[in-house]
Amino acid sequence: MPKGASATADAAAGRPHHRTLNDTPDNAKKVSIGVLQACLTDTVDLYNATRQAHWNVKGPHFGHLHELFEKFYTQLAAGADDLAERIVTLGGTAVGTTQALAQGTRLEPYPTDLYDGLGHVKALSQRYAQVAKALREGIGQTDEAGDADTADLLTEQSRAVDKMLWMLEAHLQARD
Ligand SMILES: [Fe+2]
Cα 8 to middle of ligand 1, angstroms: 31
Instruction: State the pLDDT at residue 5.
Output: 60
Q: How many domains does the chain have?
A: 1
Residue 91 lies in a domain: yes
d(CA 76, CA 39): 11
- What domain range includes position 41? 25-169
Q: Which amino acid is at 119?
A: G
Distances (CA, A) of 143 to 10, 39, 97, 155, 171: 22, 16, 28, 11, 34
Cα 66 to middle of ligand 1, angstroms: 8
Instruction: State the pLDDT at residue 12.
Output: 66
Residue 16 lies in a domain: no
Cα 12 to middle of ligand 1, angstroms: 32
3-state secondary structure of 86: helix
Residue 18 lies in a domain: no
Cα 163 to middle of ligand 1, angstroms: 22
Instruction: State the pLDDT at residue 176.
Output: 64
Cα 71 to middle of ligand 1, angstroms: 10
Instruction: State the pLDDT at residue 2.
Output: 52
d(CA 101, CA 97): 6
Query: How many residues in total does the chain contain?
Result: 176
Other CB atoms within 10 A of residue 88 CB: 15
- Please, are residues 123 and 116 in contact by the beta-carbon 8 Å criterion? no
Residue 138 lies in a domain: yes
Residue 3 lies in a domain: no
Residue 7 lies in a domain: no
Q: Which regions in the chain score pLDDT beneath 50?
A: 1
Q: Which residues contact 98 (CB under 8 A, 6 or more apart)?
A: none
List the beta bridge partners of residue 116: 58
Instruction: State the pLDDT at residue 135.
Output: 98
Residue 45 lies in a domain: yes
> Within the chain, where are the H helices?
3-13, 26-56, 62-89, 98-104, 117-145, 148-169
d(CA 159, CA 176): 24
CATH number of the domain where residue 100 is located: 1.20.1260.10
Cα 67 to middle of ligand 1, angstroms: 8
